[in-house]
Amino acid sequence: MDLVLATGNAHKVREIRALCEGLPVRLRTLDEFPGLPAIVEDGATFEANARKKAQAVARATGRIALADDSGVEVDALGGAPGVYSARWAGRPGDDAANNAKLVAALRDVPEPQRTMRYRCVIAVADPDAVLFTAEGVCAGRVLLEPRGTNGFGYDPHMLIPEFGRTMAELAPDVKNRISHRGRALAACRERLEALIRARGALGLNFEPGLADNPHVP
């Protein structure tokens, strides 16, 4: 059966595909459903945004959807940028501008005090309801100078102390194992697999009554 990844971020799609390896499911992406309405991420928490995205995509496609919302919380900045991480500098998805703003904000803060955590909430929904959520956290410190070329977003500035490397310096398999997104998916994988097997056994590729949905190919 199908599981729609409710994100337009190609980096996230690649990570989630790797993390879902072995699940008895066909992963589908938003570009396979042209014309889906835009989703305004206006929640005050990662969970609120994840739930909203998963529910909206599940309703629009008639399929089970998995969404995540994630970002960086910096203690010296009172938890900012938080839910605004992707658009903190004002331009959604502008990694360079977001990182420049982060470095400027922390320029006078000593490294031991530049503690941070990545936080991710994953939500899984069908067209009728959000079925479950799970959270993952990965803590570290902010570096003012970027290191590494893997990853995306704030990864080059996020030092993970137990490895002595930034997220952008870690091999993909290591990052997927210890990242906030990897931990969130691991926390819900058993429930997700049980859901997929149960719905697949019933032959439910989409919910009754949604077969005429114009977004369902």
Catalytic residue selected from 2, 68, 69, 126: 69
Cis amide linkage into residue 24, ω under 30° from 0: no
Dist CA 86 CA 157 (whole Å): 15
The size of the chain, in residues, is 217
Q: Let me know if 75 is a catalytic residue.
A: no
Closest CA to 68 of 15, 27, 22, 28: 15
Task: Please answer whether residues 15 and 38 qualify as being in contact, where contact means their C-beta atoms are separated by less than 8 angstroms.
Answer: no
Between CA 208 and CA 147 the distance in angstroms is 50
DSSP state letters, 96-158: HHHHHHHHHHHTTS-GGG-EEEEEEEEEEEETTEEEEEEEEEEEEEE-SS---SSS-TTGGGE
Residues with catalytic function: 69
